[in-house]
């Protein structure tokens, strides 16, 4: 009977799957293992970039709210 393999539903599950596959290929085919590790690094880098953009937006909004509160306290 054939085994059904489900595609990972979350990014962290995908990263985990890629890491396990990379580990299996390290001895037999290091080039393929390196490809899996590069994909993991790219996925994680995209997350960091997105998180930095969110933090920049939150800081900007926080500064705006601070300035508004500061100006309303002067009135």
Tens of pLDDT, residue by residue over 33-48, are 999 999 999 999 999 9
- At residue 26, the pLDDT reads 95
Domain of residue 42 covers 11-74
- At residue 6, the pLDDT reads 76
Give the Cα separation of 70 and 73 in Å (integer). Answer: 5
Q: Residue 3: inside a domain, yes or no? A: no
Asked if 48 contacts 40 with a C-beta cutoff of 8 angstroms, the reply is no
Give the Cα separation of 32 and 22 in Å (integer). Answer: 7
- This prediction's pTM: 0.67
Q: Residue 4: inside a domain, yes or no? A: no
Q: Residue 2: inside a domain, yes or no? A: no
Q: Say how many domains are in the chain.
A: 1
Give the Cα separation of 14 and 12 in Å (integer). Answer: 5
Asked if 22 contacts 11 with a C-beta cutoff of 8 angstroms, the reply is no
Q: Residue 67: inside a domain, yes or no? A: yes
Q: Would you state the structure tokens that stand for residue 40, as one six-digit string?
A: 């993991």
Residue 68 pLDDT exceeds 70: yes
Region 24-38: what's the mean pLDDT?
Answer: 96
């Amino acid at each position: 009977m054939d085994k059904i393999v489900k595609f990972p539903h979350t990014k962290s599950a995908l990263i985990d799957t890629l890491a396990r596959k990379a580990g299996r290929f390290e001895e037999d085919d290091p080039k393929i293992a390196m490809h899996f590790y590069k994909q993991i690094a790219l996925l994680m880098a995209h997350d960091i970039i997105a998180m930095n953009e969110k933090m920049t937006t939150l800081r900007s909004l926080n500064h705006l709210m601070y300035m508004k509160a500061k100006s309303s306290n002067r009135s």
